[in-house]
A and B are shown apart, each in its own frame.
Chain A
């Protein structure tokens, strides 16, 4: 694996970076959907985040990166139960992937050569406790997306096929990216993503120059560039760690809960997932910023992330929903 571009060196795209950081603080937020043009640094940001995150402790030979030896699934043979530090897994899910590869399936090698019934874990197992990244999620076959979102919600991958009946933990943050011009996601699927971000190419010439300049510097001297940005990355990493610790201490007051509900009702968001995500995202933001309580400011900042993709919308309507959320937030909080 080649060296990743430093997260802090990404120019602009603050909303996207913020959304990714929030999921790093609270993985339970339920994934990020990044929609935008090509060449806006979507994949770069996800890969950079992986390099930024603190390493996880995992059992060495465990296929699902279990934290403790006793957590290893019983179907797996784990010869070495030593605990090792490894980087947060970021698994790429390519288009055209088969269901077998995603969920895991009967190990054909062993079935055919030895006649043994064994389970070969798939990408979901590898992504446990980490990130699962899908580029062009809107072009991914529907049945795979259904399956992914189902697992992402429940945190458990259940395989019932070919005489196998296996369950293993699969808690990961799903990051999907895509270009809306090439096709859309069904609303049922949109709703399952916790946060959504729209990115666009920077229009400011100076900003664009800076992007190319940094990319070029990175390509010319990778180690040097990474070393230069190391302190900045470390700052974000520390803030994420501190945020994770602070998360539990932040209580949702009645006033905040009421604000969440009012916003969701005012926007006509379907279901209750919107409010729940809004609250969790606001809490993660408060934790990241080191604030003692969740405030309306936090809500207002994360509202577009958490709600813009949940609005009931006409498939043929092209008006930007982020604008609608921002306007409603301003009206509600007056």
Chain B
């Protein structure tokens, strides 16, 4: 894939969006800050219609309007602020990978209401584990991942876009376009029915852009290339179990012929399939695992650290504060604070007001809550000692999972073996998935303990950024033999592991180390000491015991 072709795709997607913003709903632009994104944003600014920039921490009041407390107090009557989303507009959400699920749900609602809003997600995710919420990705037509190099993104002239917008309602559709797009989506394992709908609209918008009276085969192919690749969940099956594209609606293909057009059922389906397949991200299979679950946002009331908030939890005394959308006013405390001053204040222009409250009287509610705990299970699946006791370790993890369920903890599952670490399950509460992934975990290979610890540390940092309290449950025999470099070397491997364990301790990632070796040994004990973690030897044939021990160790 050349840079030029990529830029062309970006241009077409953006132009199609400009023609039908309400129907295509928007696009995701996934890139770190850099020249490519600069170029994209420059082009974005040229789109017609109102544009608003929002950020993930935006409050409902700012987005949908709300009471302006300070102005209301000054005026003595309710004063409302208009929200950003009141008018149909193009909303650009920056740092979309940090969108909390609450905001995602509201934006999804806004898009579903069909009021002509479009949403542009600027996703700056650094790794495959991060990303904008699926609820939004599913609703937006396009997904763009630009190459590093910056090529200016050119849009058609505003007048051309206007003309295309006028043409859009009259663009006709060949009858077999629908079966083609749906069949194609099915071959790529795209389950959501929004995808073919969006592809259809994209094809229409593209045809309008090209001033064609009807959607042609090229438009369909282009639309499918724009909409499908990011959603594909599998490589298309081979030709033998291919669904014949002309099986559905055979009676309608006649109409297309009457129009003097080449019937699309003659379109070599495989050409289309391979065109899209070429655009599939190369790491599609790796992404599937991460894609299926997206961590829920830290909701609170878990077993993790205490944190102060103003939404929920155990109430703390109110404090003076600035009225803002993020804080909840404590009316009783506010009135109590204002009461002594009423006689003094009731002079001059305030003489006829029953109650005079100044912004300085406002008291804000405060609560103390506990954040959700994330248990990072890091399992040594190496060949060394683990093979002997991997099954037992799995049993212990399963029991701990059941307890995590009861406590509403979130769990993540990492396994290290061979030369690297694999994230089997990103943070989730879905235990069915955790169990399934665990059961299918194979054993064998070297013990890259350092790599496993490092992955756990990264995940812990990520979780902390989301407001979770991470805790490590490490199941290993401690006999590291693969250092970070990947070349087998027992001495360096041990050094690396100890070094990284110490750095995890610095990060404050506490936890438990469960020794899975046949006989408790010093290697694991050293790692546990470096980690600052409790050391537990996995007792023989008693998964229940280990589970209880780990739980009490984590509570301590």
B115 with A2: CB separation less than 8 A: yes
Known: A96-B106, A115-B354, A209-B249. 18 other contacts (CB 8 A): A1-B113, A2-B114, A38-B192, A96-B102, A106-B331, A111-B331, A112-B331, A135-B108, A141-B299, A181-B433, A182-B428, A183-B428, A183-B429, A183-B430, A205-B186, A205-B243, A219-B197, A317-B432
Bound Cα distance A143, B247 (Å):
51
* Contact partners of A223 in chain B: CB under 8 A: none
Write the nearest CB–CB distance from A33 to chain B, whole angstroms.
16
Kindly identify, within residues 301 to 353 of chain B, every residue whose CB is under 8 Å from any CB belonging to chain A. Answer: 301, 311-312, 328-329, 331-332, 334-335
B186 with A208: CB separation less than 8 A: yes
A216 with B197: CB separation less than 8 A: yes
Write the nearest CB–CB distance from B534 to chain A, whole angstroms.
25
Write the nearest CB–CB distance from B383 to chain A, whole angstroms.
27
B73 with A112: CB separation less than 8 A: yes
Give per-residue flags for B382-412: 1 if the beta carbon is below 8 A from chain A beta carbons, else 0.
Answer: 0000000000000000100110010010000
Bound Cα distance A99, B332 (Å):
17
Cβ-neighbour of B431 out of A38, A108, A142, A315 (below 8 A):
A315
* Contact partners of A316 in chain B: CB under 8 A: 398, 401-402, 405, 431-432, 435
- B53 at the A/B interface (Cβ < 8 Å)? no
B354 with A39: CB separation less than 8 A: no
Contacts A108-B329, A112-B334: A208 and B193 contacting too (C-beta < 8 A)? yes
Bound Cα distance A317, B433 (Å):
10
* Contact partners of A318 in chain B: CB under 8 A: 432, 435-436
Chain B residue nearest to A37 (CB atoms) is: B191
- A70 at the A/B interface (Cβ < 8 Å)? no
Bound Cα distance A220, B169 (Å):
7
* Contact partners of B248 in chain A: CB under 8 A: 205-206, 209
Write the nearest CB–CB distance from B344 to chain A, whole angstroms.
16
* Contact partners of B331 in chain A: CB under 8 A: 106, 108, 111-112, 162
- A184 at the A/B interface (Cβ < 8 Å)? yes
Give per-residue flags for A207-237: 1 if the beta carbon is below 8 A from chain B beta carbons, else 0.
Answer: 0110111011001100000000000000000
A136 with B135: CB separation less than 8 A: yes
- A94 at the A/B interface (Cβ < 8 Å)? yes
A184 with B182: CB separation less than 8 A: no
Give per-residue flags for B281-293: 1 if the beta carbon is below 8 A from chain A beta carbons, else 0.
Answer: 0000000000011
Bound Cα distance A106, B23 (Å):
40
- A79 at the A/B interface (Cβ < 8 Å)? no
Write the nearest CB–CB distance from B443 to chain A, whole angstroms.
21
Query: Size range of the interface on A?
Result: 35 or more
Write the nearest CB–CB distance from A72 to chain B, whole angstroms.
23
B294 with A208: CB separation less than 8 A: no
A162 with B332: CB separation less than 8 A: yes
The 7 closest A-B pairs by CB, nearest first: A96-B102, A39-B192, A115-B355, A183-B429, A95-B105, A201-B191, A95-B102
* Contact partners of A162 in chain B: CB under 8 A: 331-332
Bound Cα distance A208, B173 (Å):
18
A184 with B430: CB separation less than 8 A: yes
- A180 at the A/B interface (Cβ < 8 Å)? yes
Contacts A99-B312, A316-B398: A38 and B138 contacting too (C-beta < 8 A)? yes
Write 30 A-B pairs (CB below 8 A) sorted by A numbering: A39-B138, A92-B109, A96-B101, A106-B331, A111-B335, A112-B329, A114-B354, A115-B355, A135-B108, A142-B301, A143-B301, A143-B312, A162-B331, A182-B293, A183-B429, A183-B430, A184-B430, A202-B193, A205-B186, A208-B185, A208-B186, A209-B182, A209-B249, A212-B181, A212-B182, A215-B193, A315-B402, A316-B398, A318-B432, A318-B436
Write the nearest CB–CB distance from A238 to chain B, whole angstroms.
29
* Contact partners of A135 in chain B: CB under 8 A: 105, 108-109
Bound Cα distance A115, B73 (Å):
12
- B194 at the A/B interface (Cβ < 8 Å)? yes
Give per-residue flags for A80-110: 1 if the beta carbon is below 8 A from chain B beta carbons, else 0.
Answer: 0000000000001011111110000010110
- A40 at the A/B interface (Cβ < 8 Å)? yes
Bound Cα distance A316, B112 (Å):
34
